[in-house]
Amino acid sequence: MAALFSKLKNAWNLYQQIDMDQLSKLSAKVDLPAVLRNVGKMDEQQLAGMMKMLGGEHKEKKQPPIEGDFYHLAETLTDEERRMQLNVRSFMEAEIKPIVNEHWLAGTFPHEIIPRLATLNSCGITYKGYGCAGKSFLMEGILAMEMARVDTSISTFFGVQSGLTMGSIYLLGSESQKQEWLPALRTFKKIGAFGLTEPEVGSATAGGLTTTVKRVGDEWILNGQKKWIGNATFADVIIIWARDEADQKVKGFLLRKETPGLKVEKMEDKMALRIVQNGLITMQNCKVNEADRLPLANSFKDTAAVLRMTRAGVAWQAVGCARGAYENALKYTLNRKQFGKPIASFQLIQNHLVEMLSNLTAMQAMVFRLSHLQDEGKLTDAHASLAKVFCSAHTRDVVARAREVMGGNGILMEYDVARFVADAEAIYSYEGTKEINTLIVGRAITGHSAFV
Ligand code: FAD
């Protein structure tokens, strides 16, 4: 009985280990049906020999590395830049990845990571002075990509702090405002937010802001509402953009959190970037001292200078989101087996993977060049808009395919693609929708403004 059981077990092992390619080669040389008819009469040694013969060498196929940088763009970085990139990558993988799904589902922000985030020395990395590193926009872009590759919410939190808030102060603030805020924001001792969008005015902020400001002596009085303002629920300072009742121009103000008349309500139930704490801000006769007005913000053109800089960063974020989804999906398809084979070996799955990689590679090449233009001081609104519109649209395609190749698991949080699918929707809309960025590029290439 024991011998029969052992034979059955061996026969089953044999069946499981058969290399079908090897089998088809052998069938051309030996009478396989005759061999198989005699399997039951073989002793263990004979069976083992046959298993060796049919099973080929049974080497596990070596998988190529999972790598979203197919054209080796990282090789163009300096050693220091590459070190910084890998430092942020390991931080994101070690400290954000394990906690991200839990916070995303709960809609909470992991405040405990802020001190570690500060040690990366990456906030405000392109600015000169005030403790900032004065590095390239390319470096900043790479870091935005690395963050979004693991989580777009953390990358957005970082972008609001480093780009929108610090950028407004760096480009448009007075020397004393820079001294007060830039070092504190850079080290995350203070948190910032950027309040431009309103409940009734999103795309049309250039001409349509309804938040008003009125000068009374040495003070300015703010009234109005702002919607969607990232980090607003716990920000120490919010940059508020408002229309001056006197000259109808858009001006910028540093609104401190303790200001009487300021109310911030958390926006609940988002389906994307759930970790980012977006606030609905109401200002009722909020008084701001003249010393807290951004002196170089005298019209919406000045606001647009900040947006030009940060829109380029959003294009990099989109690349990171696409890259994370692609790499996770590729890994999944190599490990997931159906019909006895990794699904990565199926032609239709490979088609999805290659489409994803093509988009991802085109996007990366585009944002690399975009940052070079920015570093050379040649970046225009249209350059930034084209990259934002192209990358955020193609990211949607990449994440949809990533989700598709994972079947049902593509919509489960634990497989680390569903979150990217949802978050890509926010990237697609914020910092200028597809339509608005398209109109900006259209105006630049035709000379005709099609804005209504
Ligand atoms: P709308 O302007 O109402 O647009 C609705 C649709 O109409 C869009 O498809 C748009 O493209 C289209 N449309 C509008 N005008 C035209 C036109 N002329 N021609 C053709 N189509 C047109 N704002 C901040 O100030 N600070 C923040 O920190 C911030 N964070 C955000 C975070 C998230 C997650 C999101 C989703 C948004 C955030 N925003 C923030 C707001 C964001 O910038 C706006 O959502 C965006 O500018 C679009 O405005 P809207 O949502 O009001 O859409």
Report the CATH number that the domain containing residue 331 is assigned in CATH. 1.20.140.10
User: Is 110 in a helix, a strand, or coil?
Assistant: coil
User: How does residue 3 score in pLDDT terms, banded at 50, 70 and 90?
Assistant: low
CA angle 362/364/368 to nearest 5° reads: 120
- 420's CB contacts (< 8 A; 6+ apart) are 152, 321, 322, 324, 325, 328, 399, 402
Per-residue pLDDT, averaged over 103-112, amounts to 98
User: How does residue 20 score in pLDDT terms, banded at 50, 70 and 90?
Assistant: low
370 in any annotated domain: yes
Asked whether residue 19 carries a pLDDT value surpassing 60, the answer given is no
* pLDDT at position 452: 81
| Structure-token pair, residue 236 | 């120490």
Per-residue pLDDT, averaged over 205-209, amounts to 94
Closest alpha carbon to 314 in 158, 134, 166, 136: 158
Query: Which atom of ligand 1 lies nearest, measured to the CA of 197?
Result: 25
Query: Which atom of ligand 1 lies nearest, measured to the CA of 270?
Result: 34
Is residue 311 domain-shared with residue 432, that is, in the same domain? yes
45 in any annotated domain: no
Task: Please work out whether the CB of residue 152 comes within 6 Å of at least one atom of ligand 1.
Answer: no
Task: Please work out whether the CB of residue 232 comes within 6 Å of at least one atom of ligand 1.
Answer: no
| Structure-token pair, residue 110 | 């992991």
| Structure-token pair, residue 199 | 């409940």
Is residue 91 domain-shared with residue 165, that is, in the same domain? yes
- Average pLDDT for the chain: 92
Per-residue pLDDT, averaged over 142-169, amounts to 98
Distance 49 CA to ligand 1 centre (A): 69
Asked whether residue 30 carries a pLDDT value surpassing 70, the answer given is no
The DSSP line for 219-231 is: EEEEEEEEEEEET
Distance 205 CA to ligand 1 centre (A): 9
Is residue 203 domain-shared with residue 179, that is, in the same domain? no
Is residue 80 domain-shared with residue 175, that is, in the same domain? yes
| CATH number of the domain that residue 95 is part of | 1.10.540.10
| CA quadruple 30, 34, 37, 39: dihedral sign | negative
Task: Please work out whether the CB of residue 202 comes within 6 Å of at least one atom of ligand 1.
Answer: yes
* pLDDT at position 10: 57
Which of 270, 292, 314 delimits the end of a domain? 292
Task: Please work out whether the CB of residue 181 comes within 6 Å of at least one atom of ligand 1.
Answer: no
* pLDDT at position 339: 98
Asked whether residue 325 carries a pLDDT value surpassing 70, the answer given is yes
Is residue 242 domain-shared with residue 308, that is, in the same domain? no
Distance 351 CA to ligand 1 centre (A): 34
Per-residue pLDDT, averaged over 18-27, amounts to 56
212 in any annotated domain: yes
Q: How many residues does the chain have?
A: 452
| Structure-token pair, residue 233 | 């629920």
Task: Please work out whether the CB of residue 104 comes within 6 Å of at least one atom of ligand 1.
Answer: no
pTM of the prediction? 0.88
* pLDDT at position 215: 98
Is residue 146 domain-shared with residue 228, that is, in the same domain? no
* pLDDT at position 333: 98
Residues of the chain with pLDDT > 70, as a percent, come to 87
| Structure-token pair, residue 319 | 């690349």
Task: Please work out whether the CB of residue 157 comes within 6 Å of at least one atom of ligand 1.
Answer: no
Which of 292, 323, 340 delimits the end of a domain? 292
Mutual orientation of helices 347-375 and 300-335 as an angle, nearest 10°? 150
Q: Give CA–CA dist 143/123, Å, rounded.
A: 10
Q: What is residue 131's DSSP assignment?
A: T
| Beta bridge pairs of residue 132 | 129
Distance 421 CA to ligand 1 centre (A): 19
Ligand 1, atom 35: closest residue by C-alpha: 430
Amino acid 223 reads N
Asked whether residue 40 carries a pLDDT value surpassing 90, the answer given is no
Is residue 227 domain-shared with residue 128, that is, in the same domain? no
Is residue 306 domain-shared with residue 432, that is, in the same domain? yes
26 vs 194, higher pLDDT: 194
Q: Into how many domains does the chain fold?
A: 3
Ligand 1, atom 3: closest residue by C-alpha: 202
- 90's CB contacts (< 8 A; 6+ apart) are none
| CA quadruple 41, 46, 48, 51: dihedral sign | negative
Per-residue pLDDT, averaged over 106-126, amounts to 97
* pLDDT at position 54: 59
Ligand 1, atom 42: closest residue by C-alpha: 430
Query: Which atom of ligand 1 lies nearest, measured to the CA of 193?
Result: 28
Is residue 212 domain-shared with residue 342, that is, in the same domain? no
Evaluate whether 294 touches 270 at the Cβ level (below 8 Å). Answer: no
Per-residue pLDDT, averaged over 4-28, amounts to 56
* pLDDT at position 59: 59
Is residue 218 domain-shared with residue 275, that is, in the same domain? yes
Choice among 26-40, 112-126, 300-314, 421-435 with the minimum mean pLDDT: 26-40
Closest alpha carbon to 229 in 285, 156, 152: 156
* pLDDT at position 63: 82
pLDDT of 372-431, one tens digit each?
Answer: 999 999 999 999 999 999 999 999 999 999 999 999 999 999 999 999 999 999 999 999
Task: Please work out whether the CB of residue 271 comes within 6 Å of at least one atom of ligand 1.
Answer: no
Task: Please work out whether the CB of residue 368 comes within 6 Å of at least one atom of ligand 1.
Answer: no
134 in any annotated domain: yes
Ligand 1, atom 12: closest residue by C-alpha: 435
Which of 292, 313, 346 delimits the end of a domain? 292
* pLDDT at position 64: 87
Q: Are strands 278-289 and 262-266 parallel, antiparallel or unpaired?
A: antiparallel
Q: What is residue 406's DSSP assignment?
A: T
User: How does residue 62 score in pLDDT terms, banded at 50, 70 and 90?
Assistant: confident
* pLDDT at position 335: 97
| Beta bridge pairs of residue 251 | 242
54 in any annotated domain: no
Closest alpha carbon to 251 in 213, 194, 284: 213
Task: Please work out whether the CB of residue 230 comes within 6 Å of at least one atom of ligand 1.
Answer: yes
| CATH number of the domain that residue 220 is part of | 2.40.110.10
Is residue 222 domain-shared with residue 311, that is, in the same domain? no
Segments forming the whole domain that contains residue 266: 193-292
Is residue 197 domain-shared with residue 91, that is, in the same domain? no
Asked whether residue 46 carries a pLDDT value surpassing 90, the answer given is no
Closest alpha carbon to 349 in 403, 396, 395: 403
